[in-house]
């Protein structure tokens, strides 16, 4: 994979000031700053633009134009950064669950990072209750990150199951194995999610960021802000209010 990217510009985009090092401390810093500053969003789908996964286009969109993206874009570019910084990393694919009783297709991209012979999950591109920092690829451990709680469990059929604690119970978010996937393996899922009327990403505009206190989510014309477990929903009456919310809460400018 091409790793000839401007590392300094990328680190500036996510406001990382530390000297790079190939260790878990710096990986946590990269991951945390990425999810706090680069929003999960699908706005280009509704602007009629193709979602390109080429490294040049991803860098131009996310770093130079200071936009966000969804998993194929965000984790794709984050993998390039990690490779350029000499981390051992590869992509794998997950099945998004959320209570489904059937086996869904693999429609999510996440990363596996190996440090000192230990594997970690890195995922800066999940749009629901995603990780703030990487977690080790081990089951049965609870990880508290700011206001969130996460864990991995094992399913005999689906492999690892990533869960978050919501409303007094554990919610299955996605399931995955550790099989290596190449960039081309995500082309079909990317096309489906950006074109199919059955994809949630073609049905509504979504923009989301975690914060140290909770989460911010803009879904069509409703702005939701969760702070320390309490959620406030604010309806937006016009397109101009929607665009202003993007700028104010997510630092995005579509104009």
Q: Tell whether the model's pLDDT for residue 145 goes beyond 70.
A: yes
Q: Tell whether the model's pLDDT for residue 231 goes beyond 50.
A: yes
Ranges of each domain in the chain: 7-202
Q: Tell whether the model's pLDDT for residue 55 goes beyond 60.
A: yes
Query: Given this model, what pLDDT does residue 116 score?
Result: 95
Tokens 């919501």 locate to 166
Q: Tell whether the model's pLDDT for residue 19 goes beyond 70.
A: yes
Closest among 114, 149, 154 to 133, alpha carbons compared = 149
Query: Given this model, what pLDDT does residue 101 score?
Result: 82
Query: Given this model, what pLDDT does residue 99 score?
Result: 72
Q: Tell whether the model's pLDDT for residue 3 goes beyond 80.
A: no
How do residues 20-54 score in pLDDT, each as one tens digit?
999 999 999 999 999 999 999 999 999 999 999 99
- Buried b / exposed e over 79-89, threshold 16 CB at 10 Å, is bbbbbbbebeb
Q: Tell whether the model's pLDDT for residue 80 goes beyond 60.
A: yes
Active site (catalytic) residues = 71, 108, 123
Query: Given this model, what pLDDT does residue 52 score?
Result: 98
Query: Given this model, what pLDDT does residue 196 score?
Result: 97
Beta carbons within 8 Å of 182's beta carbon, 6+ residues apart = 91
Mean pLDDT, residues 55-83 taken together: 98
Cβ atoms 219, 206 nearer than 8 A: yes
Place 198 in a pLDDT band, splitting at 50, 70 and 90. very high
- Answer yes or no: pTM beyond 0.85: yes
Query: Given this model, what pLDDT does residue 1 score?
Result: 42
Q: Tell whether the model's pLDDT for residue 4 goes beyond 90.
A: no
Tokens 């996605």 locate to 174
Q: Tell whether the model's pLDDT for residue 111 goes beyond 50.
A: yes
Q: Is the dihedral of CA 162, 164, 165, 170 positive or negative?
A: negative
Fold for the domain defined by 7-202? Arylamine N-acetyltransferase fold (3.30.2140)
Average pLDDT, the chain: 96
Query: Given this model, what pLDDT does residue 100 score?
Result: 83
User: Could you tell me if residue 86 is left (phi over 0), alpha (psi between -120 and 50 degrees) or otherwise beta?
Assistant: left
Place 2 in a pLDDT band, splitting at 50, 70 and 90. very low
Query: Given this model, what pLDDT does residue 168 score?
Result: 85
Mean pLDDT, residues 156-160 taken together: 96
CA pair distance 224, 210, nearest whole angstrom: 12
């Amino acid at each position: 994979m091409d790793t000839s990217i401007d590392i300094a510009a990328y680190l500036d985009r996510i406001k990382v000031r530390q000297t790079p090092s190939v260790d878990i401390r710096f990986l946590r810093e990269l991951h945390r700053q990425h999810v706090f500053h680069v929003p999960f969003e699908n706005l280009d789908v509704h602007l009629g633009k193709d979602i390109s996964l080429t490294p040049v286009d991803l860098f131009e969109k996310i770093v130079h134009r200071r936009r966000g993206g969804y998993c194929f874009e965000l984790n794709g570019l984050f993998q390039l950064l990690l490779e350029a910084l000499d981390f051992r990393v590869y992509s794998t694919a997950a099945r998004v669950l959320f209570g489904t009783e059937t086996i869904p297709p693999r429609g999510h991209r996440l990363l596996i990072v190996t440090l000192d012979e230990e594997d970690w999950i890195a995922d800066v591109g999940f749009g629901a209750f995603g990780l703030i920092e990487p977690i080790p690829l081990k089951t049965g451990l609870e990880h508290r990150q700011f206001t969130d709680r996460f864990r991995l469990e094992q399913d005999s059929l689906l492999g690892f199951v990533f869960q978050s604690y919501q409303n007094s119970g554990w919610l299955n978010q996605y399931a995955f194995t550790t099989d290596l996937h190449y960039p081309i393996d995500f082309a079909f899922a990317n096309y489906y999610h950006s074109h199919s009327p059955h994809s949630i990403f073609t049905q509504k505009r979504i923009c989301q960021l975690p914060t140290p206190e909770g989460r911010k989510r803009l879904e069509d014309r409703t702005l939701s802000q969760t702070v320390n477990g309490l959620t406030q929903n604010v309806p937006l009456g016009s397109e101009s209010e929607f665009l202003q919310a993007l700028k104010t809460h997510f630092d995005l400018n579509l104009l």
